[in-house]
Chain A
Amino acid sequence: MADPLEQLRAARTPEAGWGYRAGEPSRVEPTAWALLAFRAHGAPVPRDAVAALVDGQHADGSWGGADGPDAPWVTAVAVLALRALGVAPEPCGRAETWLLEARSEQVVQPEGDRPVLNAAIVGWPWVGGCFGWVEPTAHAVTALRLARRRHPRLAEAIRFLNDRRCDGGGWNHGMPRVRDVDFPPYPNTTALGLIALATPGARSKTTERDLAVLLGFLREPLGLFDLAWAALALDANGCDPAPFLGRLGTAERSDGGWRENVHAVALAALARALPKGHNPFRLEAA
């Protein structure tokens, strides 16, 4: 198998990190996942890219926002990557404190509608001043759990994810139903929910159902992004990621890379390292 890291090296932006497409200005998400991919494969992690990521942090501990190229939801992504790399403990601490203080807005359920969700439970939004959604909440929960944080806010966010689960298992973007219509789950949000709630050495019936939903997506023509997250989620829950890894293999170019955006390539490279025992999102038993 060719080295997918070559594709990431070639895609890097001159000033340090990675954009969503090769050579574009740095963004937090593709940079974070690319750095983790280098570490997972035992390759030297570009120090200047790590430094650039840390430099992007605001004084309040967050990343993104303030008219920059990213939104505040990437704070959880940045701290997740830096913690997994084992660097920048002080910036990570400030970021985690910022996360614990950030809250999504509550919604008012229209009178007479069938209850859609428990609006009193608050997660994390993509952008400040908005409703909470599954992906930013799952990233924040994973980051805080990996950092071994214990906080009522984290417990509330775990309740949030359980509340937003679709009726048949799995998660979509965060709206299990609208009025009387059940919305179906999606692959990447189901994977992220499974990673965020993974419990080492134990799987509940609910988790088994979520995993079955995830495996059901194998029937769909998933892209790299979904395939990679699905493999990482299976592994984080102690399951064999082979079905999704096999699909990643069939999507390869002849040189071992993939025709996709940088963040998806980085996630696929991360998934490719699973057989080596590296999963930065896997919570080990305390």
Chain B
Amino acid sequence: MTRRQALRLLAGSAAATAATAFLRCGFGTHGRRARVHLLRVPSYAALVAADIAAAVPREHLRRIRGRRVLLKPNLIEYRPNQPIHTDPRLVGTTIEAFAQLGAADVVVAEGPGHRRDTDYLLAASGLRDVVGCAGVRFVDLNLDVTRPEPIPGRSLTGLERLHLPRTVTEADYVVSMPKMKTHHLVGVTLSLKNLFGVLPSALYGWPKNFFHWKGIGPSILDVNRTVPVDLAIVDGVVGMDGDGPLWGNPVASGVVVVGADLASVDATCCRLMGLRPERVEYLVAAADVHGSIAAADVEIAGARLAGLVRPYRPPATFPRLQAPGIDAGTRGTG
């Protein structure tokens, strides 16, 4: 049984538990230790492909070598000088990292949420130049051929299946590459929420409003149980706080976060942001499937977490997200 098959099985059996957790909003832990790797990256110019390759779990290497890898950055929208999207330089460095690890094919794919002209987003953001220079394909997931995939276990949205892009379902290894941001509707948007971008808008509409009606939290959980993601690489070099995910302010966090357990990765990101993961409802519910969010269950590798904490202002809609003793108004330089 592959890890992807095992994850699907786990997702199915844990669905009911996750649903219960979603309602009771307890402290998410599933008793298994996760490993999250922190890379100190003071600027995008300092990105090193070998460092990212070294942060990929060793046990994943045989599933990467000779296989098709899909990188899913966040390109929901573009606005000049606004850290809304995953920086193309991180995408480019990650392409290089997976080439070093022996991937046969790397595809960059995203289904932008707002503007339909993906070609504009690629040009304006600089991602087109990056994929062009690297000689890899970009696939607009909004328009891809789709296939129905059953949601394992008890669906939290009430949907029996999700229509997923062929490029995603046929990938051997999927990497979620979000931007580290606050989110005015769910608290934070990180590697789990980033999966909204694989849902094809030609079928579900721009801006994926169908899933807002189904509930953003339940939709995050359902799509993550249906699309087994192998790895998260979070762009926290410059993140966004306050009124994210579109109108917040840049925060120079100087970190890239890498890990295979997405809830653990996202919880660690919250701690790096000076926010409380246990106050993010969907993250608590996700812990049953996607890794513990309890700090004690997460082994930090690479750089020390304490040295990389940069206080993020929570969205006005989530004032209680901020961790005790953290004041975003006195954001340090670390």
Contact = CB atoms under 8 A, between A and B. Distances in A.
Interface string B56-82: 000000000000000000000000000
A171 to B, nearest CB: 12
Contacts of A70: 202-203
Interface stretch (A48-56, A127-135, A201-209, A272-280): A127-135
Contact of B210 (A29, A130, A179): A130
Contact of A226 (B117, B207, B210): B117
B202 A172 contact: no
Given A181-B247, A222-B117, A223-B120, A126 B143 contact: no
Contacts of B209: 125-126, 130-131, 133
Given A130-B213, A261-B140, A223 B205 contact: no
Given A73-B205, A221-B123, A221-B124, A105 B213 contact: yes
Given A223-B119, A224-B119, A264-B119, A130 B205 contact: yes
Contacts, number: 92
B113 to A, nearest CB: 9
Given A126-B210, A131-B213, A221-B123, A187 B114 contact: no
Nearest to A25: B145
B117 A225 contact: yes
A92 B298 CA distance: 59
Interface stretch (A16-24, A34-42, A150-158, A234-242): A16-24
B146 interface: yes
A98 interface: no
Q: How large is the interface on B (under 10, 10 to 19, 20 to 34, 35 or more residues)?
A: 20 to 34
B148 interface: yes
A221 B145 contact: no
Contacts of A284: none
A69 interface: yes
B87 interface: no
Interface in B174-216: 184, 201-207, 209-210, 212-213
A130 B203 CA distance: 13
Contacts of A73: 205
A-B complex: 5 closest residue pairs judged by Cβ atoms:
A223-B119, A126-B205, A20-B143, A221-B123, A226-B117
B213 A126 contact: no
Given A105-B213, A225-B117, 16 more contacts: A19-B145, A29-B202, A67-B163, A71-B204, A126-B201, A126-B205, A127-B203, A130-B209, A131-B213, A173-B114, A173-B206, A173-B207, A186-B115, A188-B116, A223-B117, A263-B143
